Structure 1
């Protein structure tokens, strides 16, 4: 993950932050407690926020939901 700071600034965040991405990626030197905290936050986000967003897409923008499903289910 050798991206520059400017690349981090221009990319928008998906499900996880750049810091969480580094901690979850099992990079050497990351404390286990920080890794577990990052995993916990992502799991909570999936269970709470993503569920709400899926419902929103289902109701107002089914095409976005189809795109999301294709990406998550690796159908593209």
Structure 2
């Protein structure tokens, strides 16, 4: 299972989300593919006001303020 994590440098919410993903990964096995939206114009335009964005199988799990329970629930489905 691969979770896409859309982020950008200097984003404090992204730092918090990264930590949250690592906590969830202690309970559920998955890989994190971190993507810097500033390296892709299309992604930057799509996510610039939403980051951090956590996505699984093309579906956004959560964005902005993320929490452990929401991520865990989505991954256990």
Higher strand proportion: 2
Could you say whether these structures have the same fold, taking a TM-score greater than 0.5 normalized by the shorter chain as the test? no
How high is the TM-score relative to the length of structure 2? 0.28
Bigger relative contact order, structure 1 or 2 (CA pairs below 8 A, ≥6 apart) = 2
Instruction: Work out which of the two has the higher radius of gyration on C-alpha atoms and give 1 or 2.
Output: 1
Structure-1-length-normalised TM-score: 0.28
